[in-house]
Amino acid sequence: MAIMNVEHAETLRAELNRSGTVLVDYGAPRCGPCRTLLPILEELDDEYDSVSIVKVNCDELPELASEAGVMGLPTVVVYSGGQPVEKLVGLRPKSVYQGVLRKYAAVSSSTS
């Protein structure tokens, strides 16, 4: 699976309504930590087949950032069954993202 760049609000909403776990990266090209996060997300995308990874450019889609309560960049929100279950503000080590995904990817794959 490849990381999806959201260009329209409807695209994100449709992705969140699918069953399973979705990791959404709310960031912006001007944000240095956001650029640092991208290779981590690419590695996670390779490691977790059952997780969809989606990027939202907060400069282009501020309404989505507002809906998710984004106050700082990057913000990663993990959704399970369409509901937000974890929010991580700021750049974190890869192991933190892995720990969160392990919790919810296991749940989503056992119910599929």
Q: Which of 22, 23, 24, 34 is catalytic?
A: 34
34 is catalytic: yes
Whole-structure pTM value = 0.92
Res 108: pLDDT? 44
Reduce the secondary structure of the chain to three states and give it as a string. CCCEEECCHHHHHHHHHCCCEEEEEEECCCCHHHHHHHHHHHHHHHHCCCEEEEEEECCCCHHHHHHCCCCCCCEEEEEECCEEEEEEECCCCHHHHHHHHHHHHHHHHHHC
31 is catalytic: yes
66-87, pLDDT tens digit by residue?
999 999 999 999 999 999 999 9
8-64, pLDDT tens digit by residue?
999 999 999 987 999 999 999 999 999 999 999 999 999 999 999 999 999 999 999
